[in-house]
Amino acid sequence: MRPLLATVLSSVLLAFPAGVSATTRHHQETPLIVVLDPGHGGVMEYGNESGAVSPDGTLLEKDMTLLIAKLAAVDLQKMGYRVYLTRTKDQHVNTPPRDWNGDGKIDKVDELVARAVFANQHHADVFIPIHFDGSSDPSMRGTHGYYCPARPFWRSNLRLATLLTSHVVSALQKAHYPDINRGIATDVSDVSPQEWPDYPWFLQLGPARSHRIVATTMPGALIETLFMSNPMDVAAMRKPQIDAAIAQGYADGILAYFNGKTSK
Parse the chain into domains and list their residue ranges. 3-10+31-257
Strand order of the β-sheet with 222-227 is 82-85, 33-38, 126-133, 222-227, 143-147, 181-186
Is residue 154 within 8 Å of 248, Cβ to Cβ?
no
> Which of 38, 25, 30, 28 has the alpha carbon at shortest distance from 84?
38
Q: For residue 206, give the amino acid letter.
A: G
**How many CA atoms lie within 13 Å of 219's alpha carbon, on the beta-carbon side?**
17
- Other CB atoms within 10 A of residue 261 CB: 12
Confidence (pLDDT) at 49: 86
Alpha helical stretches, state H, 22-153: 61-79, 108-121
Q: Which residues contact 187 (CB under 8 A, 6 or more apart)?
A: 146, 147, 148, 149, 200, 201, 202, 205, 206, 222
Return the CATH architecture of domain 3-10+31-257.
3-Layer(aba) Sandwich (3.40)
Q: Buried b vs exposed e over 138-165: b needs ≥16 C-beta within 10 Å? A: eeebbbbbbbbebbebeebbbbbbbbbb
Instruction: Please tell me the distance from the alpha carbon of residue 147 to that of residue 162, in angstroms, as a whole number.
Output: 9
Q: How many CB atoms lie within 10 A of CB 14?
A: 10
CA dihedral 99, 103, 104, 107 (to 10 degrees): -50
The pLDDT assigned to 1 comes to 47
How high is the pLDDT of residue 44? 61
Low-confidence residues of the chain: pLDDT under 70 = 1-28, 44-48, 193
Q: Helix axis angle, 240-257 relative to 61-79, nearest 10°?
A: 50
Report d(CA 80, CA 32) in Å as an integer: 8
pTM summary value: 0.88
pLDDT in tens, 24-63: 344 568 999 999 999 999 876 666 689 999 999 999 999 9
Q: Whole-angstrom Cα distance, residue 88 to residue 74?
A: 13
pLDDT digits (tens, 9 = 90+) for 237-251: 999 999 999 999 999
